[in-house]
Structure formats: structure tokens, C-alpha cells
Chain A
Amino acid sequence: MDPELLEMRRHLSAHPPFDGLTDDQLDDIANHVDICYYRAGSEIIASNQPIKALFYVRSGAVEVYRRSGDLFDRLGEGSIFGHYGLLRGRRAHYPAIAIEDTLIYAIDADIFDRLCETDNDFADFVELGRPRTSSVADTQGVSNNRMATRIRRLVNRRPLIAEADETARDVAQRLANEPAAALLVVEARGDDPRYTYADADGELWQVMGILTDADFRARIVAEGRSVDTPVREIVSQGLVAVRSDETVQEAMLAMLRHNVHHLAVIHRRRPIGVIRLEDVVRYETQSSLYLIESIFSQRHPIGLARLLPDVRNAAVRLIRDGADSRTVGTALSSIGRSFARRLLELAEAELGPPPVPYAFMAMGSMARNEQTLVTDQDNALVLDDRFDPQQHDEYFLKLAQRVSEGLDACGYEYCKGGIMATNPRWRQPLSVWQRYFRSWIQAPNAERLLHSNIFFDLDNLYGEERLIETLQELIATEAGQSPAFLAAMSRNALNRTPPIGFFREFVTEKDGQQNDSINVKRRGTAPLTDLVRIHALACGSRAQNSFERLADIKETSLLGPGVADRLSYSLEVLSLARLRDQVLDIEEEREPDNNIEPRNVPAKQRAEIKEAFRALSDAQKFLRFRYPMPSSSAHKRQR
């Protein structure tokens, strides 16, 4: 080992993508580094210049520009640049300028190639900017795999262990003292290598079997044996064990197959715990499916409100188990819909049948199946055209109030913009809704665009499906045909910009309380969702979910090759970042919000988030060109 390389190696190893490399790989890098100092303001690489190295910022700060002169990225200590150019023809794509006095480590291109070939994590990291078609599939494959929970997650205490020669009385006392319902019986010098392990003193033991309360009952009490009988004689023969990395599903099957209620959990032959049927059942019943069942069995809104902790638990579990954002979004939206539906059922039971048919409409994230743990209500009532305000509105106001109050009690806050069925404006017959939607499309202004963003993601929650379908149809056929509307939506979508101008870490929001954090909804998922909606409208997609919309968009030639995949990946990254931070908030007993704190984000994810913001920024730039404001004469001609 070269002590003189320690300093360099220590620095590299604290930053991705080098943090996962071995010491040998790091030495290899350090041995092929050229160090160079750049004074603030000087150019490090020029656009289109051949490059022979990966650049690493050892100290200082660097800005990378697009050829158009726009800022592409701002890099601090430990960041890399030049990898896009290395991967694509060994030419610098973007010029880089030192904005502070900067020390650069230039890592030889051959080493870069070698690392890309031999280290998958490294390759993934540097190729992030590429279209992620295959990688998206990979991530989903991985998360599906992880979705299956390992049985070790259910083990929460070390097993009680008794030696085979101990008496039934001693063992029963230990069981009673703990208290536990089962223990493992071990004997020395076993002959089954599968269950033989060495204890802390190096002695070899073999697990014989599990001894449960039932064994004492059946073999001591019922058979009238002495309590001094060694447990070897009463333990059930034939150990049923599962490996700690088997799934909960497999453990359940093992219990059924062997007709036992206890399983030993083995990790590398060493017993690490005993799980009971109850543990498995309890785990399974925390699932969102069970939660939805229990929502529909509630007889009173108060009972529904009590389920809030269960909602959070279900979401936390899904995210911890590695579910992707679509799975979590769908589960949380289904739960939200179930609350609203049950509240409507309860309200109807109290108020009587509705005087005219109606549909209760969900908008926004619930309609898109993209709810998170922080959500407010966006809803509306679409009434049959036979609706007569004088006669019928009292009923529907009460109905709306029941739902709105009930949802609030269940943790779905009132909409700050008043977009709820309790607002008379959003409790209207179908014909009025059709007029609303047409006016928004035909003569967009600031307020109408805001409404379009909310109402154009719409879904029926309860009631007459056809009322909502009529509106969905109207949007799909008319919005995409109006260039002026799409152009106005595009302008509007550019109001919220992603925080691309990172400095060192992130540019964090400096508004009052949210210091050192970034609102990933406002700056990330919301503008991305807006953007996807516009393209979806343009290509006549009827999908409500952003990922499904992106899949539809991908079928057309609207975006360049790979762009839809990149946006899909970005949405996944940003949504997951938001969900994970909400889980962290819950675990640390804070009220979950949409802000992420950079210090809570692991370095690798930070790079992914930066990349996602960058993709969003690119897509926003494209939006302006794709949906230009029609000139006034062209506009007239079209009419």
C-alpha cells in the first residue's frame, strides 16, 4: 500500500461513484490521475474538444454549460464531469468552467473504461444520463423481487434455547418466565449438518426441534409423565425450519404443509428465531387489501378516522419493502377512494336515496392513482341534468359535507383552493360542467389553466359512471385539438422550475420554515406531472396515470427516442424520494410533508435526483418549442 495515495483515496472513496469501489480499484485510479489547478473563471474543457479523462472536483466549484449557454449543472467537491463525453465519442459535449479556484483530478479514460466494464454500479452511475429503457425495467425487476418480504423481517427476538437433557420442569419454568410459547431444543454432537452450528465457545450444537406449550400438555400432563422427564423425550421429532432469506409466503406454505404453528428460522445453520403462525397472519393483515376490507366494514365515520395509523403503516411497509412509486401510489389512492366511497354509502344511508343521479368525481393525485402520504381532497359532484337547485341542492350539499368532513377526519385535508363538492361552483349538472370544460379549453386564462391542471385528471369515485365518462371524452377529443390551449398549458407548466442550479448540494428553499430542504412536489413531481398531462392531451391519451400516459406518449413520435423512458425514470426517482422522506418523517414522528432534506438523502440517490431534475428541465425546454403560441392569423384561420 502506498501511504502517499491515502489522502487521494480517502477523498475519492467518500463520493459516488467511487464510494463502492475496492481499495485496489481506488489505487488504480489514484495512480492514473493528473492533477490540475484552475483559477476561478478559467475554462476546464471547451465544447467539442477531445477529452481523455474523467474530471473529478477535488476542491472548488465548476459550472457545466450547454452549447446554448444555459447552465447544465453546477458541481462541487467530489462531483464528476466529462463522463457523457467519454461515453459518446470521447468528445466534450458541454464546456466546463471553474467558478471558484478549483483543483481537478483528471482520471485517465482507460481507467474509466475499465471501471465501466468491471463495475456495474459505477457503470450505472455514469450512464444515468442515457435513456434508461433497460434500467427502468431493471429497477422494477429488483423492486418486484424485494416486494417479497423475507421471513427474517418477522423475527423480532432471539430464540430461547434448551439443551435436550434439561428437565421438562426447568424448561417450562423458563418458558413461563420469558414469557414465550415455544423454544428450541438443541443437543451436542448432532448428525444433521443442516442444523448444526457452533456457539460462541466453539461448541457444536444441533437443533433437534421446537418445543411448544402443546407438547407439555400432550406429552407430560395427558400422558401422566414425570416433570423430571428430559425434554429430549417430549420434543416433536423432525425440525421444521426455514432459512431467514425465504419469503413470508414460503414460510406460510411450510406451516401448511407440515401442519405446524411454529417455525425455526435458520441463518447459515444458526437458529436466529422462532416465528409463529400469528406473526405471519398479523403481517399479512397489515396489507392494504385488509385495510380496504376494514374500511368497508366500518359503520360510522369515526371508525374510519381511527384507521389513519393503519393507512400510514401500510404505506410505510410497502415503501420499506421496496415497492415502486406506482404500487404505493395505487395502494394509497385505492385506500383514499375506499374512504370516500364508504363515506358516501354512510351518507346515503342517513340522507336517503339521491333525488337525481350523480357522480362523485375525484381529481388530481387520487384520479391519477398517484397519492402519497400527504394529500388534500380535490373532489366535485357531477349531477344529472334533471338537477333543480331549488329542489335538490340541499341534499347534495349535505352529502358533500359528510364526505368532506369525513375525509378531513381521515387525514385528507380540506383543499385550500376550495376545490371540493361543498363549493356550489363544483356541484353542478353535467351541462354546466361541459360548459366549464369547453370554456377552459377555448379561452384559457390563468385561473382556467389552474383548473384545467386539476380537473383534467378526473375519475369517477362513486355513482353514475357515464357522467364522468362524458367529461373524460370531451377532454380527450377537444383539448388535444386546440393548439392555443396546449400552448397556454405549456407556458403555465413552465412556471415551476426544477432546482437545476444546485450548488454543492441542492439549492434549498429559503422560505421561512423550510430552510435546507426542497419541496420535491412543487419543484419536481408536480411540474413533471403537468408536463406529461400536456403531451398526453396532445396525443389523445385517455390514461389518467402519469406512467400510463408516458407509455401512450412513447407510442407516438411526439418526443425524441428515449425521452419518454427518461421521464418515466425521473418521475419514479422523484416520487420515491418524496415517499421515502415521508416514511422517514413518520418514523421520526414528524408530520410527513413534501419537503426532502438533502442530508437525509444518500449520495447515490442524490445523484439520481439531480439527474431527474435535469431531465425535467430538458423536457420543459422542449415544451416551449413543441407547443408554440399560434400566431393570431393562424388562430383565426383554424377557427
Chain B
Amino acid sequence: MAGGKSEQRDDWHDWLADMARQATTDDLRHFYAGFPSDSTCPVGDAPLIAIDLETSGLEPRHHAILSIGVVPFTLRGIGIGQRRHWILRPPQEFSGESVAYHHITHSEVEQAPDLADVLPDVLASIHGRIPVVHYHPIERRFLDRAVRQRTGTVFRFPLIDTMEIEAQRHRRPWRLRLRKLLRQSPESIRLNDSRIRYGLPPYEGHQAVLDAIGTAELLQAQIQHHYSSSTAVGDLWL
């Protein structure tokens, strides 16, 4: 087990170093080189950033990113003043479909920039911080595809996933079996349902920055309940 963990740590360290060499743009090279790749760093000392994407659907090949919300934080505080929010114009191929979700209006989307225009800005805000998301396949796949299309560089890096942490607590096989025995449905691990288990207030979701803030709060709660601030980031990231 311990061996598996350290292998994974080494994977990311080497991967990030490789990507820093191979990146096609200076922004991406800078991003990879600056990624806090020390997997032994205690999570309490780590600079983190919660990221949330609003997308027009769940499938990166058929849907587009509509907005990105980020908020930098540490376990000691979530700095609301440093939050960032970008509304994006979907590429031509997606523009036909309804994008009026997530509190974003058509006109906002039509006037919005393409991801390529704001990518340096997005990368700069994430720079030097470990991304935290709720349900990582969305962020990982959508961002990778969008960035790769525009720059040709793979966009993949370690992520801490609060849903994964929740799944480990609530979707362990013995728990599932027990709940099945008691004829209960599995605990929901959606963002708001997870938050409620830690006494966090419900937020009106589906707004990228607010969900990012909600995710950051959830990680603070999860670390206090299940780990400690000295837990190594390598034990948390995926």
C-alpha cells in the first residue's frame, strides 16, 4: 500500500517536470514549473485554489465550458476578495445549443471572450496553488480538452477532489452493504448534500464562484473531520 502511494507521488512529480519541459507556450511552461509538486507538503501549509466550471453539459466532446470560477484559499481562510470569474464564449461548434443555464444570459455569453483570450489570466491565478474541485472528472476532462485544442499542450495536473473524499467516507463497500441491508439509498455526495453533513449552510448553487467557495469550505471541513493539517497533500490529490 505504502509503495503504491509513493509511486503515485513520484508519478506526478515527474509528470509535472516533463510537462514544464514540453509545454508549447510560456504561460503553460510557467504554470507547470510553478506547480507545488512536493507531495510531502502538509495540506495545512499548502496554497490551494478551489475551481469550479459551469458547462453546457457533461460530455467534453459535445459541450462547452461556460464559465470558470476560482477562489484561492488555505486551510486558515478563504480570501473572498481574490476570487475570479470568467464567462466564456463557447467555440463555434457549440454555439447552436442552449447555453442559458447557470445564471448566465445569452448576451453575456455572446459578448464573452474565448478561453484562448483569458487562458494566460486563468493560468496566472492558479499558478503556485493546488487545485481543489468537487467531482474532478468534469474539471480535468473539460479543461484538458479545451486547453489542448487551443495550445496543443496536455493540461493535466494533480487535483484534490472533495467528492472523492466524501465517496471514501460514504461509499465504502461495507457501508453500502449495510445501507442496502437497511434498504437505504446511498448517501448523496453532491456538493450541497455533502456540505450539510458538516454543518455548512446550503448555498444557491450553479454559479461557478459560489460553488468554488462552497468547495473550499467543504475541504476545510473534511480535513478537520477526517485528516489533519499535517496530512501530506500527496495523500489527498489524485
Stretch with Cβ within 8 A of B (4 or more), from A101-109, A167-175, A425-433: A101-109
- Among candidates B204, B207, B216, B224, residue contacting A35 with C-beta atoms closer than 8 Å: B216
Q: In the assembly, what is the distance between CA of A106 and CA of B74, in Å?
A: 14
**Scoring B residues 192 to 209 as 1 if CB is less than 8 Å from chain A, else 0, what string do you get?**
000000111101100111
Q: Give the nearest-CB partner of A40 in chain B.
A: B199
With A7-B204, A37-B198, A37-B200 as known contacts, state yes or no: A106 contacts B221, CB within 8 Å: no
Q: Give the nearest-CB partner of B104 in chain A.
A: A3
- Among candidates A7, A11, A32, A39, residue contacting B224 with C-beta atoms closer than 8 Å: A39
Does the CB pair B81–A37 fall under 8 Å?
no
Does the CB pair B78–A34 fall under 8 Å?
yes
With A4-B85, A58-B201 as known contacts, state yes or no: A37 contacts B210, CB within 8 Å: no
- Among candidates A4, A33, A40, A59, residue contacting B201 with C-beta atoms closer than 8 Å: A59
With A35-B217, A36-B78 as known contacts, state yes or no: A7 contacts B199, CB within 8 Å: no
Contacts of B224 in A (CB 8 A): 37-39, 42
Within 8 A of B (CB), among A1-36: 2-5, 7-8, 11, 30-36
With A3-B103, A7-B204, A39-B225 as known contacts, state yes or no: A34 contacts B80, CB within 8 Å: yes
With A3-B207, A7-B203, A39-B224 as known contacts, state yes or no: A103 contacts B217, CB within 8 Å: yes
Does the CB pair B198–A35 fall under 8 Å?
no
Contacts of B201 in A (CB 8 A): 11, 58-59, 103
Q: In the assembly, what is the distance between CA of A40 and CA of B201, in Å?
A: 15
What is the number of residues of chain B that contact chain A, defined by CB distance less than 8 Å? Answer: 28
Counting CB contacts under 8 A, is A60 at the interface?
yes
Counting CB contacts under 8 A, is A100 at the interface?
yes
Q: Give the nearest-CB partner of A29 in chain B.
A: B80
- Among candidates A4, A11, A37, A42, residue contacting B209 with C-beta atoms closer than 8 Å: A4
With A4-B83, A30-B80 as known contacts, state yes or no: A36 contacts B210, CB within 8 Å: no
At the interface, is chain B mostly helix, strand, loop or mixed? mixed
Q: In the assembly, what is the distance between CA of A5 and CA of B203, in Å?
A: 11
Counting CB contacts under 8 A, is B213 at the interface?
yes
Q: In the assembly, what is the distance between CA of A527 and CA of B199, in Å?
A: 38
Does the CB pair A106–B77 fall under 8 Å?
yes
Does the CB pair B83–A35 fall under 8 Å?
no
Does the CB pair A36–B85 fall under 8 Å?
no
Does the CB pair A37–B80 fall under 8 Å?
no
Counting CB contacts under 8 A, is B79 at the interface?
yes
Q: In the assembly, what is the distance between CA of A32 and CA of B85, in Å?
A: 17
Contacts of A3 in B (CB 8 A): 103, 207
- Among candidates A11, A33, A39, residue contacting B80 with C-beta atoms closer than 8 Å: A33
Most A CB within 10 A of own CB, among B80, B103, B200, B216: B80
- Among candidates A7, A32, A39, A42, residue contacting B210 with C-beta atoms closer than 8 Å: A7
Within 8 A of A (CB), among B147-203: 198-201, 203
B54 to chain A, nearest CB (A): 12
B174 to chain A, nearest CB (A): 25
Q: Give the nearest-CB partner of B83 in chain A.
A: A4
Q: In the assembly, what is the distance between CA of A11 and CA of B225, in Å?
A: 26
Q: Give the nearest-CB partner of A39 in chain B.
A: B224
Q: In the assembly, what is the distance between CA of A58 and CA of B76, in Å?
A: 16
Contacts of A8 in B (CB 8 A): 80
Does the CB pair B199–A4 fall under 8 Å?
no
Counting CB contacts under 8 A, is B220 at the interface?
yes
Counting CB contacts under 8 A, is B69 at the interface?
yes
Q: In the assembly, what is the distance between CA of A35 and CA of B213, in Å?
A: 9
Within 8 A of A (CB), among B54-106: 69, 73, 76-81, 83, 85, 103
Does the CB pair B79–A34 fall under 8 Å?
yes
Contacts of B209 in A (CB 8 A): 4
5 contacts between A and B (CB under 8 A): A3-B103, A33-B81, A36-B76, A37-B200, A42-B224
B-side interface residues toward A, CB under 8 Å? Answer: 69, 73, 76-81, 83, 85, 103, 198-201, 203-204, 207-210, 213, 216-217, 220-221, 224-225
Known contacts A34-B80, A35-B217; 16 further A-B pairs (Cβ under 8 A):
A2-B85, A4-B69, A4-B85, A11-B201, A30-B80, A34-B77, A34-B79, A35-B73, A35-B77, A35-B216, A36-B220, A37-B224, A58-B201, A101-B198, A101-B221, A103-B217
